[in-house]
Amino acid sequence: MRKIAPILLSCMLGFGFLLPSKQTEAATYSPAKVVKTAKHYIGTPYKWGGTTPSGFDCSGFVKYTYKKNGKTLPRTAAAMYTKGKKVSKSKLKPGDLVFFHTYTRGVSHVAIYIGHNQVIHSVSQGVKIDSLNNPYWKPRYIGAKRL
């Protein structure tokens, strides 16, 4: 028994690296990689409720993109708005989440800020880049969050 205990302890410690951890998630997350991943899906068609590259809705696109980069987000834009820290529009950085109201009061659309006053998101025309000064999006801006 005395010989087995150190072996078991060594095995338990040695296999600890196989378990998921918050450190692993944080270590793999990079806002720059999120933006790069998002741009890869430009042109992907819009699909209500879509969560895969065969078709995305806005929150499905954001959730999928962040998941590919080590961050798990809730499914809806409104639920995503409850995460992270508020960021003023003037302090936006690539990878921040940007929120809008569209068909209803409150948060109903989410996009990823990519820099230079632009966001990438899934809209009726599919995944595309738009300016925050776009006449449709500018008056619908609600706020932004940094994860």
Give catalytic residue positions: 58, 109, 121
Distance in angstroms (rounded) separating the CA atoms of residues 62 and 69: 11
The per-residue b/e assignment along 71-89, b for 16 or more CB within 10 angstroms, e otherwise, is bebeebbbebbeeeeebee
What gap in Å lies between CA 76 and CA 110, rounded to an integer?
A: 9
DSSP helix/strand/coil, 42: coil
Q: Is 20 helix (H, G, I), strand (E, B) or coil?
A: coil
Tokens of 120: 């990438």
